Structure 1
């Protein structure tokens, strides 16, 4: 047995890039592989390819497990998997986050069913920890098949442009199937999961950047599903108003940046967008509001696609597991229109999103910035569908369909009979906007709690959060 912990220098270097100096304490460093083997017996290594233990990041405790690619290619045997599962359990017991540093060639073939069951135990442990503690998967190298599941079952997936990979089937298998050589990065690299699948929450250019991403994310996530051990008061004034929001509202129909609205509302420089390159029409992320971490869900495009809906489902689930309030900024007039959308399951995607929102048991606040039409209104801001408090800007439009469509349907005979149909249509659209779709009408019926000045959005939300915190 190699008692020098072969190759562990790479793990210690990676760990040292984000843990506080001299804070790491290793556990189970002498564990070795045992059980079935097939073929030439491999030299046993102390630690069996996993460096596991605990340490601190900015003084906050975390448990972690790092796979060592220099020990049997980081392959997962039973003892290897059990060490990672043990770190997860210890993190749950301590009610602190878990960080997995994944870099593996997959299941250890010579261990047969023992290796498979070890992997199964690890995946079951990840599933059991959901909602108890935050789980960060930092993907440093390739991970295929069941090993990729370990990352995908986590709350956050972080990847580096250089070296990281998540695949259901390895590059050689995919290349053989496609009958051409395909680079690993083009199958499951960081760009693929940042742009095409949305699995990557955050990306970095290299390992040093990945470590910085871990530290950045840790500043937002709670210690456990029960919240922060030591809540942090934000330095930003909770009563700060933003005149720029009034300016944006005045020219809303000329185009605007929803991300700017989010950034101006939350604590200064605190918006951390997640999966920003995937389905960018749906804005998802974490932010601080009055020093409190919240989830943010907003529409940058008015029609919701299947990918946008899936992205929103993921954010809603994250907020539920980590017990984070959810703030929605609403400007949506429905779902994408097209035959391919219908054939590809748009109804189910919309229903999945509605169900995800209905099942939330966390504080929910909505700000209707622009349009809130039909099921989009119900999903993102409907009180009947779980929103606790609804604020609307004077620019909001709330209805079954948009005013232009409604006027055409309801007043089509009057428009056709008018001497000037174009002017008549404009007048009827305005009539519907004023008498049906106005936020003041919704407020008079109790479905909007208050129509607010855009500049007052931030203090209103912070006050509502303070109130709702005592109710949950």
Structure 2
């Protein structure tokens, strides 16, 4: 059976124990690198009442046991011949996945089609790994779409794995084949705790790059790899919202979540897609006790009509909400520019950062220095006999305050100026300090993030 063979490829050898089986669904529990997980797999057919029941019971078992739930998903929708009972099966899956949210990690490999009602399931999980040439997701068939709208839905080009990652943002990682999909899921499990009450296991730390020699601070991925244990950075949604870099990494063997401005894409300016993925990632890390390390190098919010009409203000509001409500350890490194809204929104002390460090050449200011001088001295610049000389004088006056981290340090906006080579040690020491962090919160049912 394909579904059983897939499960056996995913879990450790001889570790799988079946706990539920019916035509089209196989479920049970096993281990991944010694970590116990619950797994279910489907074979591409429809889901009915009994199939949905087995999947839901497996998810509920994972939730009860406090272990990750992993789905290997391939479904053509509901079993039409069952009528409403087929929808009942999906209802059970949806409810159990929702109730597991924030309790145990929910991971899925999309190993085929996800059509009709089945398309509702992958977006519900925490991490979806799609496979090029296999993964396809759409709610209405090409035939229905053409009959009702006259539009052509080309499944191969409009519903494939890359579309799911780069446009729909439902896929978090895309691989070239099933084997890489399974390996990605196995790797991901090692970064995560089993549940919301536990912490990710520490691993033996790999050596780091010792010298920040010649690396470009505007290539944030280089910076992340420099401060992390060697080979430990695992990017998430790498090809969506590229001005923001997110993913899991390790420092001294401890899992951390990375949220970073990717400054070689749109100068790292905050934009709708990048901010959106960062918000979801921060909330996941907060749910599962994973410290956040923020790397700041941005001049603010990306200007443009499409950004304004697309709701960039609401997206950045979500970002400050996510940082402000999170109670995990939060450490921020300002490696380059931290100007305007990016200074506030990217893990500043004002939104709850525990420790904020800056590199010696960091620029920390409410706006670009040139723009600030133009605004502050508009009247003088328009009336002075030598406006160019006047501008340079004022730039020199404010450069010490804003173009270096000295002013921010004196005002308490940052805690210390450190060299690039000291960064990993500073983060590790900070994590040690904050390992017992506790935050007293007002009693409430839930916050209301501006979705």
Output the TM-score relative to the length of structure 1: 0.87
Query: How far 1:233 sits from its partner (Å)?
Result: 3.7
Contact residue 209 and residue 226 of structure 2 kept, 8 A: no
Alignment correspondent of 1:58: 33
Answer whether contact 1:368 1:381 (CA < 8 A) is retained: no
CA positional deviation for 1:148: 2.1
Which residues of structure 2 form unaligned runs of 5+? 439-451
CA apart distance, 1:176: 4.3
How far the C-alpha of 1:171 sits from its partner, in A, is: 3.8
Hey, what's the Cα distance between the residues in 1 that align with 2:178 and 2:211? 41
After superposition, the C-alpha distances for 1:18-68 in whole angstroms (9 at most, x for unaligned) are 211111111123xxxxxxxxxxxxxxxxx1321000111122111000012
Q: When the two structures are aligned, how many residues end up with a matched partner?
A: 434
Mapping 1:341-380, distance limit 5 Å: 341-380=307-346
1:17 to 9, 16, 28: 9
Displacement of 1:180 in angstroms is: 5.6
CA contact (8 A) 1:365 1:387 kept: yes
* Residue matched to 2:211: 243
Is residue 283–residue 296 contact of structure 1 (8 Å, CA) maintained in 2?
yes
The answer on whether the counterparts of 1:91 and 1:133 sit within 8 Å (CA) in structure 2 is yes
Residues 10 and 396 of structure 1, relative CA distance in 2, 3 Å threshold:
same
Determine if contact 2:76/2:116 at 8 Å carries over to the other structure.
no
Q: Residue 416 of structure 1: CA displacement?
A: 4.0
Is the CA contact 2:295–2:335 (under 8 Å) kept in the aligned structure 1?
yes
Q: Offset at 1:144? A: 2.4
Other-structure match for 1:173:
144
Q: State which of 127, 144, 158 in structure 1 corresponds to 2:98.
A: 127
Q: Name the CA distance, whole Å, in 1 between partners of 2:108 and 2:396.
A: 51
Indicate the larger mover: 288-297 or 410-419.
Answer: 410-419
Secondary structure of the equivalent of 2:182?
helix
Give the structure 1 partner of residue 80 of structure 2.
Answer: 109
Contact preservation (8 Å) 1:236, 1:268:
yes
- Asked whether the equivalents of residues 353 and 379 of structure 1 are also in contact (C-alpha less than 8 Å), the reply is yes
Question: Matches of 1:131 and 1:428 in 2, distance apart?
Answer: 51
**In structure 1, what is the Cα distance between the partners aligned to 2:177 and 2:410?**
54
Per-residue CA distance 1:343-366 (angstroms, 9 max, x = gap): 222222221222222221211110
Q: How far is the alpha carbon of 1:228 from its aligned partner?
A: 4.2
**Cα distance in 2, alignment partners of residues 22 and 149 from structure 1:** 32
Q: Does structure 2 retain, via aligned residues, the 8 Å contact 1:241–1:457? A: no
CA distance in 2: counterparts of 1:345 and 1:15, whole angstroms:
42
CA distance in 2, matches of 1:362, 1:152: 25
Q: Does 1:92 align with 2:54?
A: no
**Which residue does 2:112 correspond to in 1?**
141
Which shifted more, 420-429 or 387-396?
420-429
Q: Give the structure-2-normalised TM-score.
A: 0.91
Aligned mate of 1:381, from 347, 369, 393: 347
8 Å Cα contact 1:20/1:57 also seen in 2: yes
Query: CA shift at 1:160, angstroms?
Result: 0.4
**Residues in 2 aligned to 1:10 and 1:241: alpha-carbon distance in whole angstroms:** 43
Greater displacement, 416-425 / 330-339: 416-425
Q: Work out whether residues 171 and 187 of structure 1, in 8 Å CA contact, stay in contact via their aligned partners in 2.
A: no
1:61-460 correspondence runs (5 A): 61-69=36-44, 73=45, 75-177=46-148, 179=150, 181-228=152-199, 231-236=201-206, 242-244=210-212, 247-248=214-215, 256-300=218-262, 301-418=267-384, 420-436=386-402, 438-460=404-426
Q: Is the 8 A contact 2:205 2:251 kept in 1?
A: no
Deviation at 1:178, TM superposition (A): 5.5
Mapping for residues 30-69 of structure 1, pairs under 5 Å: 47-69=22-44
CA contact (8 A) 1:241 1:458 kept: no
1:457-472 correspondence runs (5 A): 457-472=423-438
Question: Is the Cα–Cα contact under 8 Å of residues 139 and 164 in structure 1 kept in the other structure?
Answer: yes
Query: Residues of 2 paired with 1:187 and 1:409: CA distance?
Result: 47
Deviation at 1:218, TM superposition (A): 1.8
In 1, are the aligned partners of 2:199 and 2:288 still within 8 Å (CA)? Answer: no
Give CA deviations for 1:109-151 in whole Å, capped at 9, x if unaligned.
Answer: 2222222122112111111111111110110111124322221
**SS state at 2:437 partner:** coil
Shift of 1:385: 0.9
- CA distance in 2 between counterparts of 1:52 and 1:401 reads 55
Cα distance, 1:325 vs. partner?
Answer: 0.7
Which structure 1 segments of 5+ residues have no match? 1-8, 30-46
State the alpha-carbon separation in 1 of the partners of residues 391 and 145 from structure 2: 57
SS of residue in 1 equivalent to 2:78: coil
CA RMSD of aligned residues (A): 2.0
Cα distance between partner residues in 1 of 2:412 and 2:187: 40
Q: Rg: which structure is higher?
A: 1
